[in-house]
Amino acid sequence: MLIVSMLTTVLVSNVGWSQTNLVLNGGADAHTASTSDNADAWDMTPNSTIKDETNADVSSPYKALWHNSDLESYLESTYVTSGSGVEEQPGSSSDGTYNTSGTKTRSVKLYFDPAKGRTVSASTRRLYQKIAVTTGTSYTFSIDSRSEAENVPSEVFMLNEDITTEVGLENGAADSRVDHYLEITNDHNTSKGSAGNNTFTTSTFTFTASKSTVVIYVRALAAISGSTEVFYDNISLVEATTASTTDLGLQGVQLYPNPASSMLHITAPVAIDNVQVYNVLGKEVAGAASNQVDVSGLTNGVYIVKMTSGEASISKSFIKE
């Protein structure tokens, strides 16, 4: 029951499409009774038990899905230069994004804690989560990040297997184990933000799964001090939207510009009667009854636009920046 309750299943009534965020605890807001458990969804070697929201010990829903001790050993032998042991789990942080109600949420972070009595050549903490997918299917990945120091890039890998070494990852997408690679270099912001000031940067891409599982793997090698921490929130992996239409005329619909910052325009071979904009959680956040919609009030991220013409409809994604 715990695993099921953690999966965010989104079904939008009368929209013609549905989305499931395949990521577990992508918002870092579950298992807050113990902050160490809060980050367990991103630990490559999850604990056997965690505390649920009633502070009771329950079996970990994560360890049943993955446990990569070989990679943990590799990180220790490669990056720990003195002392013993390795910290591979990300930290849990109260410095997350603000939700639509103006409430600050939690996040996870990559950093190095020198108080543990060891030194490292690079940060050993990683985001790691293994997810079942469908081979040959396209997926859209999104992550919010904030680096509190300059020149602390994050590397995002969509791996098609459980790796036991990072050798070869320096080649990015050229590594056969990598279905997609992104280096985030534009998320530096020293401010923790506020309800009216989002200081996180959203990064999004679409890729095709080459195998039946994908491992979300994120590292920030330069995050090696208390002043070079990188924070992550609102992590999602959803199946890329496809057309749901009874009229092939809608197949010619185009959105521009994409990404968009203010007005999103629509070109179509037929008249568009209605436009609805949904966030990745399936909540309608904007709309119009014309071929353009004002998206200036939306926070940065990925959105789905459903366009209707008579009895036909089609859904396409766009990025707000």
2-239 belongs to which CATH class?
mainly beta
Asked if 58 and 51 touch (Cβ cutoff 8 Å), the reply is: yes
Q: From first to last of its 321 residues, what are the pLDDT tens digits of the chain?
A: 333 223 223 333 333 444 578 999 999 888 877 767 888 999 999 999 988 778 888 888 899 899 999 999 999 999 999 998 999 999 999 999 998 788 999 999 999 988 888 999 999 999 999 999 999 999 999 999 999 999 999 999 999 999 999 999 999 999 999 999 999 999 999 999 999 899 999 999 999 999 999 999 999 999 998 899 999 999 999 888 654 444 445 666 888 898 889 999 988 777 888 899 988 767 789 999 888 999 999 988 888 888 888 777 778 888 888
How far are the Cα atoms of 136, 152, 159, 179 from residue 173, in angstroms, in the given order? 17, 20, 10, 6
pLDDT at position 164: 98
Whether omega before 114 lies within 30 degrees of 0, making that bond cis, reads no
pLDDT at position 141: 93
* Residues contacting 115, CB < 8 A, separation 6+: none
pLDDT at position 19: 57
The alpha carbon dihedral of 229, 233, 236, 241 has a sign of negative
pLDDT at position 162: 97
Q: What phi and psi values does residue 21 have, to the nearest 5 degrees?
A: -75, 110
**CATH number of the structural domain 248-320:** 2.60.40.3080
Q: What phi and psi values does residue 227 have, to the nearest 5 degrees?
A: -105, 5
pTM (2 d.p.) = 0.74
Q: What phi and psi values does residue 159 have, to the nearest 5 degrees?
A: -90, 145
Task: List every span in the chain annotated with CATH 2.60.120.260.
Answer: 2-239
Task: List every span in the chain annotated with CATH 2.60.40.3080.
Answer: 248-320
Residue whose pair of structure tokens reads 């089609």 in the numeric block: 314
Nearest Cα to 241, choosing from 278, 201, 195, 214? Answer: 278
pLDDT at position 310: 79
